[in-house]
Structure 1
């Protein structure tokens, strides 16, 4: 049975390569780990502190949101 699966996978990959595509392996953070959640919280706090007093940025973001929502400022 494994032989048939291997043949199908090889044929599919060959077809993708023939279409001009190539395989790429991506390594991403494990979002299920507690370290990921802790790092997200740490970065969010730093970003929030850095942007807290930036009135220009807040106005820009508010205007962008209203534009996306289809409302006038």
Structure 2
């Protein structure tokens, strides 16, 4: 006879715990709520406006990208 769903879930959770993991509960916004998309757009506009006022942001992002590319490039050259 096949194991019940609850028995399979119990075994799976035991295996995960045995491998050093633990369960956590995460609460996230309910995307189905009325007004969710509008609030996302509002927050996006606020962030975009703040970014537009930051005169140093583009320079900072370009430097960060260059740093990442310099860090990645030597590794990719080794694997060729």
TM range, smaller chain: 0.5 to 0.7
- Kindly indicate whether residue 46 of structure 2 is the aligned counterpart of residue 43 of structure 1: no
Q: Which runs of 4+ in 1 moved over 4 A?
A: 62-65
Give ranges in structure 1 of 5+ residues lacking alignment: none
Q: How does 1:1-73 map to 2 (within 5 A)?
A: 4-64=4-64, 67=66
| TM-score normalised by the chain length of structure 1 | 0.65
RMSD between superposed Cα atoms in Å: 2.6
Specify which structure has the bigger relative contact order, considering alpha-carbon pairs within 8 angstroms and separated by 6 or more residues. 1
Runs (5+) with no aligned partner, structure 2: 71-80
TM-score by length of 2: 0.61
